[in-house]
């Protein structure tokens, strides 16, 4: 090994943000002896910079277990999905830019920090590892932000997904489980919302997801790409074992905010409008436990692996709860009073959103285990009280 090679390697390790103090200071002092960065060539950017046990990234598949690329695996639903896939012994690679997700949520498989919109990174990733399927969780999800910054939403949710699909096509990866949303339906014309309900989104977030659904349908016809689109209604709850939970920054979702009010992290929960045409005047939503959602993803993946067709499914319970019912249930589960402040409606909130989940039940055999509201809130409360702190304290695996 010559000095130039050692120097390039040291600079590369430093460049990828290996922040462990000891390693960093050792490398820095080694570089002090070696001298300045060699000119004329940039250090190669290493692809995998933080490995998690027990599944290191492999060059091409060397076992019979399927290997899944989980885009957005450090996020709320993606991290729960990793657990489900790891339980089945699957090989896992997470690609996540860690803007919304957190690295300590990736507890299984390899983590590659990077953006799905980075075409060069995707190219190298697919060249180095054979993937049996891709699960795509990474997207921007706030309706209000999508109205204020539509280009960001179309870039992140649509354009980046197009790049991913191009790469998948080049490498012959033809199975995708895609995170879609109830927001693709817009204002409900009838309830519960089944898969035949017209899709007329009313904000850029919903449009961006609807557009991807259309692209996937066209790719099925043209290239044989098989995609299952899972339209979440209101994902909530936390891992029943307390290992994982919701970590949005900033948090905008009702149930974690209600529980933060119960725990004293917030002075109160703000109710966005109590003048809707509902029994208590507050909005009604269909809350589905994150681990039940992951089970639906698992079943969708199995259907694709078995050669099943492309399909979209609506994922909810088929039962709705008002904002006030959620707060009352949270008071019962936590045993704490929760203060409320009522303000005018939040723009873009339909009065009621309730899924018809029968297609997923019939075709995938999906049945929820934890989505009844008290159980869902109990798991989220456990996470709010203990899991979040334990997860932060947990050191990344070496």
- Interacting residues toward ligand UFG by CB under 6 A: 141, 143, 181-183, 205, 234, 252-254, 257, 269-272, 283, 285, 323, 346, 349, 353
In angstroms, give the least distance from the CB of 302 to ligand UFG: 25
CA–CA separation, 339 and 194 (whole Å): 36
In angstroms, give the least distance from the CB of 374 to ligand UFG: 18
In angstroms, give the least distance from the CB of 138 to ligand UFG: 13
Containing 183, the helix (H) or strand (E) segment is none
Find the catalytic residue in 11, 76, 153, 205: 205
Nearer to ligand UFG, 55 or 161 (CB): 161
Nearer to ligand UFG, 88 or 148 (CB): 148
In angstroms, give the least distance from the CB of 154 to ligand UFG: 15
Q: How far is CA 274 from the centre of its chain?
A: 31
Q: Quick count: other Cβ atoms within 10 Å of Cβ 376?
A: 28
What are residue 275's phi and psi, to 5 degrees?
Answer: -120, 25
Nearer to ligand UFG, 7 or 258 (CB): 258
Rounded to whole angstroms, what are the CA distances from 305 to 137, 170, 215, 222, 392? 19, 19, 21, 20, 35
In angstroms, give the least distance from the CB of 343 to ligand UFG: 8
Geometric angle at alpha carbon 84, from 238 and 225, rounded to 5°: 115
β 284-285/321-322 pair status? antiparallel
Q: Please, are residues 73 and 82 in contact by the beta-carbon 8 Å criterion?
A: yes
Residue whose C-beta lies closest to ligand UFG:
283
* Contacts of residue 8, Cβ cutoff 8 Å, sequence gap at least 6: 38, 41, 43, 44
Using the structure block, give the residue that is written with the tokens 């589960």.
333
Radius of gyration of the chain (CA): 22
Q: Please, are residues 126 and 167 in contact by the beta-carbon 8 Å criterion?
A: yes
Nearer to ligand UFG, 40 or 264 (CB): 264
Q: Is 205 a catalytic residue?
A: yes
CA–CA separation, 377 and 148 (whole Å): 31
In angstroms, give the least distance from the CB of 258 to ligand UFG: 8
Nearer to ligand UFG, 18 or 253 (CB): 253
Nearer to ligand UFG, 113 or 274 (CB): 274
Nearer to ligand UFG, 336 or 346 (CB): 346
Q: Please, are residues 361 and 299 in contact by the beta-carbon 8 Å criterion?
A: no
In angstroms, give the least distance from the CB of 352 to ligand UFG: 9
In angstroms, give the least distance from the CB of 235 to ligand UFG: 7
Q: Please, are residues 272 and 345 in contact by the beta-carbon 8 Å criterion?
A: yes
β 133-136/67-71 pair status? parallel
What are residue 250's phi and psi, to 5 degrees?
Answer: -80, 155
Q: Quick count: other Cβ atoms within 10 Å of Cβ 232?
A: 21
Nearest Cα to Cα of residue 316 among 290, 338, 340? 290
Q: How far is CA 386 from the centre of its chain?
A: 22
Residue count (the chain): 398
Nearer to ligand UFG, 300 or 353 (CB): 353
Could you give the residue numbers annotated as active site?
205
């Amino acid at each position: 090994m010559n000095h130039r090679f050692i120097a390039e390697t040291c600079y590369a390790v430093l460049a990828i943000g290996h922040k462990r103090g000891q390693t960093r200071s050792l490398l820095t002092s080694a570089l002090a002896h070696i001298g300045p960065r060699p000119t004329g060539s940039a250090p190669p950017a290493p692809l995998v910079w933080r490995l998690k046990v027990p599944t290191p990234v492999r060059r091409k598949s060397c076992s019979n277990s399927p290997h899944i690329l989980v885009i957005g695996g450090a996020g709320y639903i993606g991290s729960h999905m990793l657990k489900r896939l790891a339980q089945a012994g699957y090989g896992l690679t997470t690609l996540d830019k860690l803007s919304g997700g957190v690295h300590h949520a990736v507890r299984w498989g390899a983590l590659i920090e990077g953006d799905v919109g980075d075409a060069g990174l995707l190219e190298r990733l697919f060249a180095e590892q054979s993937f049996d399927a891709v699960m795509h969780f990474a997207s921007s999800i706030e309706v209000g932000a999508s109205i204020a910054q539509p280009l960001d939403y179309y870039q992140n949710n649509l354009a980046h997904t197009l790049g991913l699909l191009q790469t998948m096509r080049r490498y012959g990866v033809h199975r995708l489980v895609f995170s879609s949303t109830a927001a693709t339906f817009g204002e409900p014309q009838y309830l519960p919302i089944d898969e035949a309900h017209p899709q007329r989104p009313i904000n850029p977030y919903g449009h961006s997801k609807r557009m991807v659904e259309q692209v996937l349908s066209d790719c099925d016809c043209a290239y044989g790409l098989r995609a299952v689109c899972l339209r979440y209604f209101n994902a909530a709850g936390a891992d029943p074992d307390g290992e994982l939970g919701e970590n949005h920054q900033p948090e905008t979702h009702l149930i974690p905010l209600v529980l933060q009010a119960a725990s004293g992290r917030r002075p109160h929960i703000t109710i966005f409008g109590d003048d809707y045409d509902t029994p208590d005047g507050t909005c009604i939503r269909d809350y589905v436990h994150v681990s039940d959602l992951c089970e639906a993803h698992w079943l969708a993946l199995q259907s694709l692996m078995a050669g099943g067709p492309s399909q979209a499914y609506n994922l909810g319970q088929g039962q709705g709860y008002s904002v006030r019912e959620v707060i009352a249930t949270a008071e019962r589960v936590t045993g704490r009073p929760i203060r409320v402040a009522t303000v005018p409606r939040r723009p873009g909130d339909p009065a009621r959103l309730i899924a018809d989940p029968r297609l997923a039940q019939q075709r995938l055999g999906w049945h929820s285990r934890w989505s009844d509201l008290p159980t869902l809130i109990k798991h989220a409360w456990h996470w709010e009280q203990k899991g979040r702190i334990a997860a932060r304290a947990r050191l990344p695996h070496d």
